[in-house]
Chains A and B, each alone.
Chain A
Amino acid sequence: MIKLDNVHKSFGNNHVLRGVNLEVKEGTSTVIIGGSGTGKSICIKTILGLVIPEKGTITVDGIDVTKTNRDIFLARFGMLFQGGALFDSLPVWQNVAFRLLRGGLAKPKDEARAIAIEKLRRVGLTPDVADRFPAELSGGMQKRVGLARAIAADPKIIFFDEPTTGLDPIMAGIINDLIREIVTEMGATTMTITHDMTSVRTIADHVAMLHGGKIRWAGPVSDMDTASDPYVDQFIHGRAKGPIASVR
């Protein structure tokens, strides 16, 4: 289980997280929703140690993330970044197998390549993509390669940061279905950041809304549409008028 307890993070005078409390149960898919700039990505980055919170504690399976061996801790995670974050200088298969070619999870090159090609196939890409470079791929293909990299080492916890941003509706639907399938198939604990409501409804078991630096509402996805919180109501229906200011 992932637990954030009273997490605070500021950048200068910009207080992004003002006491975030959130629990993500093992084997469930939690989606964090919220407007742009509300700190959704920062929330995930604090768990991974990419951003250090000023206050509060973050535990994974009861272990404080700041007091554990970083390599062993990170070996349990996979992450799909918003823009893919593929390494330009490496061919696709080496991007996917990056973790399998180095460090504690290293495997022989042929085996790592075979796993990479299998993972590419899993996300709907053909083996001929393996030897191409990221710059030669479309945005949707790059997202899928990023997804293949995130699941390459069969992680127990996977984070997806805006998995459908910048994609056409069909490709977004494909990515959403892939994420749902992978989550169900692998039994992984996942956290997804999005403001795409179609993604929320496809991917989520639980939903948490981040607003004003705090979790405004959290509950099962089935309760989201009937939530009495006016912020959630405005956000999920995309209304311009409501408690969430249009100028932020």
Chain B
Amino acid sequence: MKFLAAIGRTTLIILAAIGRVSLFAWTTLTHLLRTPFYPREMGFALLNIGWLSLPVVGLTAIFTGGALALQIYSGGARFNAEAVVPQIVAIGMVRELGPVLVGLMIAARVTSSIAAEIATMKVTEQIDALVTLSTHPMKYLTVPRVLAATVTVPLLVGIGDIIGIFGGYAVATGTLGFNKAAYVQNTIDFLQLRDVVSSLTKGAFFGFIAALMGCYFGMNSGRGAQGVGRATKGSVEAAAVLILAANFVLTGVFFSL
């Protein structure tokens, strides 16, 4: 009986959490369309989430692309299929590794930063101060960040895909003896528009999730330094898990199309 009660309690806790996050997401979406808008905050969010994430995204992508080329070459050699390196690097980066790794890097860099910043604002009464200054915290803090992430992460994914493919190209042509022109041609010939569309669509979803989790955990943080720490940790965990779950669902959807 105790076992069943524990399952019931856990189920209720999970459902309540899903409900709270869904309500928060819905509130954010409704505020997207309502005035006032804060272009200055939006500009800062675009700069912070998009532009300043480029180095980490680029480095992640180039090393991943290079390693992928080596793995495919080594694995392919077992059944005389070394020549498929350009195609598999391209499809691997664009369909899966590009969006997922960029999403996870954004969760590490951006989600944590948003959660810590907003949680600190809450602990130091800055959120209350916003309200007393007739400024809705959702509009001023959440909307610009979520919108900026949803817009910029697909761009980062696109750039990550290109840099990742270049990483594979550099390794394959530099150390594995592939012809440069043939490698590029094989990559272009193999990729389809739907691969790119799925990659960028995933990026938009992952950006939305990453920023939303940062804002949600920040706004609902506990008191003191421990509260800020818990909010930051929880936001990254939730964002990473949701990104991977969303990736599975989106991959299934694109496969079925």
A residues with CB within 8 A of B: 45, 48-50, 70-71, 74-75, 77-79, 81-83, 85-89, 98-99, 102-105, 149
Instruction: Give the chain B neighbours of A103 by CB distance below 8 A.
Output: 36, 134-135
Partner pick for A74 among B38, B121, B125, B134, CB 8 A cutoff = B134
B33 in contact (CB, < 8 A) = no
Instruction: Give the chain B neighbours of A74 by CB distance below 8 A.
Output: 131-134
Instruction: Give the chain A neighbours of B179 by CB distance below 8 A.
Output: none
Total A-B pairs, Cβ < 8 A: 51
Partner pick for A75 among B124, B125, B134, CB 8 A cutoff = B134
B126 in contact (CB, < 8 A) = yes
B residues with CB within 8 A of A: 36, 38, 44, 121, 124-126, 128-129, 131-135
Partner pick for B134 among A71, A88, A89, CB 8 A cutoff = A71
Contact A104 B134 (CB under 8 A): yes
CB distance from B99 to the nearest CB of A (A): 30
Contact B128 A85 (CB under 8 A): yes
Contact B134 A81 (CB under 8 A): no
Partner pick for B128 among A50, A86, A105, CB 8 A cutoff = A50
Among B44, B134, B135, max chain A CB count under 10 A is at B134
Complex CA distance for A50 and B126, rounded to whole angstroms: 12
Complex CA distance for A89 and B132, rounded to whole angstroms: 18
Contact B129 A79 (CB under 8 A): yes
Partner pick for B124 among A45, A70, A71, A85, CB 8 A cutoff = A85
The residue of chain A having its C-beta at the shortest distance from the C-beta of B140 within the complex is: A102
CB distance from B119 to the nearest CB of A (A): 13
Contact B36 A83 (CB under 8 A): no
Instruction: Give the chain A neighbours of B44 by CB distance below 8 A.
Output: 89
Contact A83 B135 (CB under 8 A): no
